[in-house]
Amino acid sequence: DTGVSQDPRHKITKRGQNVTFRCDPISEHNRLYWYRQTLGQGPEFLTYFQNEAQLEKSRLLSDRFSAERPKGSFSTLEIQRTEQGDSAMYLCASSRDYYEQYFGPGTRLTVT
Amino acid sequence: AQSVTQLGSHVSVSEGALVLLRCNYSSSVPPYLFWYVQYPNQGLQLLLKYTTGATLVKGINGFEAEFKKSETSFHLTKPSAHMSDAAEYFCAVSDYNQGGKLIFGQGTELSVKP
């Protein structure tokens, strides 16, 4: 069990550029969640997958955001036409059904 | 809808003193409750969880929490603080009827003075 990994750990991008983040969950976990955390706040839910199916998306996930989990393994979160308000820590977590979620180290995005 | 309120955005204690971090929740169904800890620039680490059964749950690093349904509370305690406990702590409730996403409180920053 190597834990949840995320790549990259840090990303600095200019406004208007597209960025993509990757999350590799714990191998036997069928559920994968994405959260966003801004400074001084608790994480907020963005979306989740059960296996390869995306089952829920938060209203925080505007049409500039898209997430995929091909073959029910790793997941990617893409942000198109980034805005300064997208600057945040993006956290990925995985779980086995309704059991506790294990978090990755996060990807810190800075939009300049 | 479920929600979590953490009372006190910042708590400061002396090393060796009791740690008490407060969490109140709102849930229309029996809640699953969690405490996570976050060190600077890191992800969240699970401290402990309550799902069903015993209302006093013990976690890692000497922390424990008690589920009190009548008070809708799930406060986190540790008898004796260590310098290494300084971190941000988050209480969360699980929306297990709708996919299991976590709803977090705003967090409490714990400082430990020598």
Q: Which of A103, A107, A108 to mutate to test the interface with B (most CBs of B within 10 A)?
A: A103
Quote the CA–CA distance of B110 and B97 in Å, as a whole number: 32
The 3-state DSSP class for residue B114 equals coil
**Position A2 confidence tier, pLDDT thresholds 50, 70, 90:** confident
* Residue pLDDT, tens place only, B32-78: 999 999 998 888 999 999 998 899 999 999 999 999 999 999 999 99
Mean pLDDT of B10-33: 94
Report the sign of the C-alpha dihedral through residues B79, B92, B46, A107, in that order.
negative
Q: Give the closest of A6, A35, A98 to B100, CB-based.
A: A98
* Residue pLDDT, tens place only, A50-73: 999 999 999 888 899 999 999 889
CB atoms A50 and B99 under 8 Å: yes
The 3-state DSSP class for residue B74 equals strand
**Contact residues, chain A, for B94 at CB < 8 Å:** 98
**Position A99 confidence tier, pLDDT thresholds 50, 70, 90:** confident
Please, are residues B90 and B3 in contact by the beta-carbon 8 Å criterion?
A: no
Residues whose CB falls within 8 Å of the CB of residue A78, separated by 6 or more in sequence, listed in order: A18, A19, A20, A21, A65, A66, A67
Residue in the block written with tokens 């942000």: A79
Mean pLDDT of B9-38: 94
Residue in the block written with tokens 């890191």: B42
CA dist list (Å): B38 to A70, A99, A104, B109: 29, 20, 11, 9
Confidence at residue B97, expressed as pLDDT on a 0 to 100 scale? 75
CB atoms B103 and A103 under 8 Å: no
Please, are residues B55 and B66 in contact by the beta-carbon 8 Å criterion?
A: yes
